[in-house]
A and B are shown apart, each in its own frame.
Chain A
Amino acid sequence: MSETPATAVPPMAMLAELTHRCPLACPYCSNPTELTGRKAELTAEQWADVFRQAAELGVLQAHISGGEPASRRDLEEITKAAADAGLYTNLITSGVGLSRKRLDALDAVGLDHVQLSVQGVDAAAADEIGGYRGGFARKMEVAGWVREIGFPLTLNAVMHRRNLDRLEDTIDLAVRLGARRLEVACVQFHGWATLNRGALMPSREQALRARDTVAAARIRLQGVLAIDFVPPDYYAKFPKACMGGWGSVGLNVTPDGQVLPCHAAASINGLTFERVQERSLKQIWEDSAAFNAFRGDGWMQEPCRSCERKTLDWGGCRCQAMAITGDPAATDPACSKSPYNAALRASAEAYAGSGTDLTYRVAPA
């Protein structure tokens, strides 16, 4: 089998994490467990420069996220800069911190799309996970404003053992709110979520039922609601094609300007990440050691190296390989071909039967 040369092709998308600040405290937050404080955040001018560089490099879409991006008072200015750079702009928000007035301002500066997260289908369930009373009610208000203004809406529902049995209700909620898309995103166990495996790990039966529920809803709701499904990978046969391949499709800029191949990459020991304050985005994307570490397939070991799926799933998730095996170049343990897979599955079943309390994300300094 030939090796794909590790030459950088232009990235399609960037995740712009404007801040780690967030009023919510979700126990599966995708931010790292070591959070960046407000004082270290890039300025709006710095973001504008990053967006211009990204567009020159080939990025088409900017996913404006956090933390909660609305925690920044200059969100409107930053969004305008992304739109002015020619990027398709997607606001990824919990809704908390947005008002009708702010959404009107975002409309005026050219925001293309809103992705609203929901933590549950009613206030009791959602606010328990978000750790923020009144959060659900605010989200429902925000969804109404989004619809009035006319933005396309995606609902992002993070699913786990505590809410997977209400997947049908979650799909109904998306339809009721007028969403065009629903992301049924089962918790991926990195960072904060790793601390909560006992409380959040779904059972095998839940995982299988979710797959069937989504398959049936996709047919029933064709032309009404498009549904993306991220399955709980501990029960999968093959791993997720994380990021569509390391350093292949997308990049992530952190609140303080580090450029990462994925949002969890800082969990991999031994990699040094460069900053937009020090080098151009192009140099970082094409030449940095961190982006080249797992680009292509030359870094792979067995069983990935001789696997016919190696350019489909790219060996799965490097961060998960690191977390479970201690070796970021190992096959993702979520792959049934990994020698660690049996232990991973057994651990999933054990976690699913435990049920410990939630460990909430803390606020950054």
Chain B
Amino acid sequence: MSSETSLPDDARPVLLRGVRIHWDKVRGNWVLLAPERALALDEIGAAILAETDGKTSFAEIVERLASKYNSPAEQIAGDARRFLVSLIDRRMAEARP
């Protein structure tokens, strides 16, 4: 499945139940906790997931991050879509229509 098909601009991504971000106080970074998985998050990954609430569309998430980090929207969109689609493919997130 192509990235745009899995996560269109107007879809509202959300982490599935049992998948959550957690502050790892021992290692000093954010992690994504999921069934049988713990993924260390970099700053961008944590920022993307902080906006991922099932209400905000992907296009709005990109807009917010682009303004927050003063970066080109196309670049943010590419990174954010790749990351979120990788979670959708692994059943950690879904795109609500």
Contact = CB atoms under 8 A, between A and B. Distances in A.
A113 B31 contact: no
Nearest to A228: B36
A152 B16 contact: yes
A61 interface: yes
Contacts of A61: 33, 36, 38
Nearest to A10: B26
Interface string B1-28: 1000010000000001111101010110
A8 interface: no
A152 B33 contact: no
Interface stretch (A218-226, A285-293, A348-356): A218-226
Interface in A19-70: 56-58, 60-61
Chain B interface secondary structure, helix, strand, loop or mixed? loop
Contacts of A12: 38
B17 A150 contact: yes
A181 interface: yes
A318 to B, nearest CB: 23
A57 B88 CA distance: 31
B74 interface: no
Nearest to A183: B36
Contacts of B16: 152, 180
Contacts of B18: 112-113, 151-152
Interface of B: 1, 6, 16-20, 22, 24, 26-27, 31, 33, 35-36, 38, 88-91
Interface of A: 10, 12-13, 56-58, 60-61, 86, 88, 90, 112-113, 115, 150-152, 154, 180-181, 183, 222-226, 228
8 contacts: A10-B26, A10-B27, A222-B1, A223-B6, A223-B88, A223-B89, A223-B91, A225-B91
